[in-house]
DNA sequence: GACAGCATGTAATGAGTTACATGATTAA
DNA sequence: TTAATCATGTAACTCATTACATGCTGTC
């Protein structure tokens, strides 16, 4: 009971806990939070920058963080710190209930799925968009990993970072491989309309997949 | 220009186009749209059921669909149909601009990332949640694929469905494999706190990944 | 003939994004 | 010394979800 939820307070959103988690590694300003997000959260819990300026206020109102006003020139800046109660709430949340389902959202894959109403170039463009984004993410991942290998990673987070890194790496590799495979599938097509040969091939693809289990 | 956007109308959301795409394969009621969504869109463009009752109204107001009122007992029911202008708008949208970036959202992976503030059982539970969801999705995919193999798939969509099916299949297989790998990594740990051995192993994981490219 | 699940829809709420405004810092 | 970029924050608005209400249909 203690510290988790005060009377009259609405329960915090998952995003609020995500930010509470960021604060757990030290006091930070909203801008510093955005920097953190760009190397971690962004890949599995993406949120707009403005969220990082808003959400900490909710933490403060719940007593899970404190706001320290400070100034830079004649401009104010707020540095947030997690409270002991905040640490308890975070720990409790991490063990409570089932996490919500993973979701994938891809406009490019949606366009692939609707490709019977488009043109062959449109289909190839959608596939390519997926490949390009995955390449960009892999490049970013390479940057981050290289920094860690060179300068030594944050020692207290390295083991956990590696678990998450491997997830994102595998995911983006899968995307590239799928895009290459899909290109090869579409290569012999002259257009996106159905044909007996394409239908035949589709059945092969399905049964190949099922056999893999 | 024609049919794509009427004066004074706000541009449609991606979700609206997704539903327009569903309507492109025939007139349907909102409930029928939900059934379609459950076997396709749900996996790469998930939306709440109520959206399928609301969004078609926007299509109608843009002239991209028509609403036909009908009754079931003394209850009204609306059947939506795509218009020629709607088909043009769909086709145009499928070729216009860059699709927005793919996003992944996983509370379970977030919990993994925050596991330094949790307990070893909490970490394992988060990993397991990912595996279980992937298993469930693979089972659902198996159902759908089996139906297609047995009764013959919709011939006009089979080739495209196969492309998307393979994407989702590979993705969920990757999730299961990652979860098994992560379990094995965590197995020797006695708790979630950092240690020199864990840090050493983390560096190996990173360099293994980089070598794979 | 009542209960469970299917089907149809609306309203209230809330989470999140886009757009905006502006000060501080750095490099040309 | 000015332009570009970094940094800080708010406000308006949109998209989407949750909750609700209720009728229909099949089954025990």
Instruction: Answer yes or no: is pLDDT of A28 > 80.
Output: yes
**B212: three-class secondary structure by DSSP:** coil
Determine the pLDDT at residue B9.
58
Asked if strand D contacts A104 at the CB level, meaning under 7 A, the answer is no
pLDDT, tens only, B96-120? 989 999 999 999 999 999 999 999 9
Vertex A130: Cα angle to A129 and A135 (nearest 5): 100
CA atoms within 13 A on the CB side of B184: 7
Measured between beta carbons, which residues in chain B are less than 8 angstroms from residue A146? 210
List pLDDT tens digits, range B1-13: 333 333 345 789 9
pLDDT digits (tens, 9 = 90+) for B177-198: 999 999 999 999 999 999 999 9
pLDDT of A120 over the 70 cut: yes
Categorize the per-residue pLDDT at A183 as very low, low, confident or very high, splitting at 50, 70 and 90: very high
Mean local confidence (pLDDT), A102-118: 97
- Closest partner residue to A107 among B24, B99, B194, by Cβ? B99
For A167, which of B145, B158, B178 is closest by C-beta distance?
Answer: B178
Footprint of strand C on the protein (CB under 7 A): A 10, 13-15, 46-51, 54, 72-75; B 29-32, 35, 49-50, 53-54, 72, 75-78
Name residue, tokens 């601009």: B97
Residue holding tokens 């996983």?
B106
Residue A68's beta-bridge partner residues? Answer: A79
**In chain A, pLDDT over 70 holds for what percent of residues?**
96
Contact between residue A141 and residue A168 where contact means Cβ atoms under 8 Å apart: yes
Tokens for A38? Answer: 């760009």
Assign A9 a pLDDT band (cuts: 50, 70, 90).
low
pLDDT recorded at residue B74: 84
Beta strands in B26-182 (DSSP E): 28-29, 65-72, 75-82, 103-105
Interface residues 41-60 of A with strand D (CB < 7 Å):
49-50, 53-54
The pair of three-digit structure tokens given for residue A88, joined into one six-digit string: 């308890």
The gap from C-alpha A49 to its chain's centroid, in whole angstroms, comes to 14
- The gap from C-alpha B115 to its chain's centroid, in whole angstroms, comes to 27
Nucleotide nearest residue A56, measured CA to C1': D9
| pLDDT score recorded for residue B1 | 36
- Residue from B202, B203, B210, B211 whose CB has the most chain A CBs within 10 Å, to mutate: B202
Least Cα separation, residue B73 to chain A (angstroms)? 35
Task: Flag residues 39-68 of B with CB < 7 Å from strand D.
Answer: 46-51, 54
Q: Distance in angstroms, CA of A11 to C1' of C13?
A: 14
A111 and B126 in contact by Cβ < 8 A?
A: no
Nearest nucleotide to A48 (CA to C1') is C17
Task: Give per-residue pLDDT as tens, B22-65.
Answer: 999 999 999 999 999 999 999 999 999 999 999 999 999 999 99
The tokens describing A159, both together, are: 């083991």
Average pLDDT over residues A101-130: 97
Tens digits of residue pLDDT in B80-94 = 999 999 999 999 999
Give per-residue pLDDT as tens, B163-172.
999 999 999 9
Residue of B nearest to A144 (CA): B206
Chain A partners within 8 Å of B173 (Cβ): 212
Nearest nucleotide from residue A76 CA, by C1' atom? D8
Task: Show which positions of strand D are touched by protein (CB under 7 A).
Answer: 7-11, 14-19, 23-25
* Contact between B112 and A164 using a beta-carbon 8 Å cutoff: yes
Q: What is the band of A132 on the pLDDT scale with cuts at 50, 70, 90?
A: very high
Residues in chain B with CB shorter than 8 Å from the CB of A119 are 94-95
Residue B42: CA count within 13 A, CB half-sphere: 14
Report the nucleotide nearest the CA of residue A53, measured to C1': D9
The CA distance from A68 to the nearest CA of chain B, in Å, is 23
The C1' atom of C6 and the CA atom of B94 lie apart, in whole Å, by: 34
CA of A155 to C1' of D15 (A): 41
pLDDT digits (tens, 9 = 90+) for A51-100: 999 999 999 999 999 999 988 888 889 999 999 999 999 999 999 989 99
State how far residue A117 is from chain B, nearest Cα, in angstroms: 6
Of B15, B17, B37, B28, the closest CA to residue B86 belongs to B17
Interface touch B210/A142, C-beta < 8 Å: yes
Of B44, B146, B213, the CB nearest to A109: B44
DSSP strand E in A19-137: where? 28-29, 65-72, 75-82, 103-105
C1'-nearest nucleotide to the CA of B47: D16
């Amino acid at each position: 009971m203690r510290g988790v939820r005060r009377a009259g307070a609405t329960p915090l959103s998952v995003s609020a806990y995500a930010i509470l988690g960021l604060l757990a590694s030290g006091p930070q300003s909203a801008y510093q939070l955005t920097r953190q997000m760009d190397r971690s959260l962004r890949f599995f819990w993406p949120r707009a920058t403005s969220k990082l300026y808003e959400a900490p206020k909710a933490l403060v109102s719940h007593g899970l963080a404190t706001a320290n006003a400070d100034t830079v020139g004649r401009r104010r800046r707020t540095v947030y710190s997690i409270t002991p109660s905040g640490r308890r709430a975070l720990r409790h949340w991490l063990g409570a209930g089932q996490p919500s389902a993973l979701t994938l959202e891809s406009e490019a894959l949606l366009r692939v799925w609707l490709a019977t109403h488009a043109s062959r170039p449109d289909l190839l463009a959608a596939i390519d968009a997926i490949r390009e984004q995955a390449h960009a993410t892999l490049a970013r991942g390479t940057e981050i990993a290289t920094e860690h290998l060179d300068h030594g990673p944050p020692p207290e987070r390295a083991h956990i970072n590696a678990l998450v890194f491997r997830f994102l790496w595998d995911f983006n590799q899968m995307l590239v491989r799928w895009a290459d495979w899909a290109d090869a599938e579409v290569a012999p097509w002259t257009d996106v309309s159905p044909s007996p040969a394409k239908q035949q091939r589709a059945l092969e693809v399905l049964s190949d997949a099922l056999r893999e289990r």
